[in-house]
Amino acid sequence: MGEPAGTSGDFDVRLCDSKTAYQVVPKRRMSLKLTNMRNALDEAGVVLALTPYVAVLKARDGSQFSIYSSGKILFLSLLDRDRAREIASRVYSLLGAGRS
């Protein structure tokens, strides 16, 4: 059956093009309806902004990130790869990403 949704087997963690933070990219195509996922987003952190295409959040540890309807997560100035993986795994799990 593979790994459960939200595990690093479901996504790649890599430096963004500017090399100033990490981005997390799902291995499978996603189409998240972010505005319908407000409760799950609230569990992931403080929602700073929410549109149908992007949600900007602040995690409990203060890390700020954006999650796009495509499932891509872009961190703001986070250079800890393991922490980026941890946060992404939790967010994907809360959103039910990858589940049928």
Tell me: the pLDDT tens digits for 27-43? Answer: 998 999 999 999 999 99
Contact 40, 97 (CB under 8 A): no
Q: According to the model, what pLDDT value does residue 8 have?
A: 59
Place of tokens 């100033």: 20
Residue 80 CA to its chain's centroid (Å): 15
Torsion over CA of 18, 42, 46 and 75, rounded to 10 degrees?
A: -10
pLDDT tens digit string along 79-91?
999 999 999 999 9
**Among 95, 90, 71, 94, which residue's Cα sits nearest to residue 23?**
71
**Domains of the chain and CATH, by start:** 8-95 (3.30.310)
Which pLDDT does position 16 carry in this prediction?
A: 86
pLDDT truncated to tens, each residue of the chain (100 aa)? 333 344 457 899 999 888 889 999 999 989 999 999 999 999 999 999 999 999 999 998 899 999 999 999 999 988 999 999 999 999 999 988 644 3
Measured CA to CA, the distance from residue 95 to residue 78 in angstroms comes to 22
Q: Residue 53 in contact with residue 68, Cβ under 8 Å?
A: yes
Predicted confidence at residue 2, as pLDDT, reads: 38
What is the pTM for the complete model shown?
Answer: 0.85
Residue given tokens 């949704």 in the structure block: 5
CA atoms within 13 A of residue 29's CA, in its CB half-sphere:
0
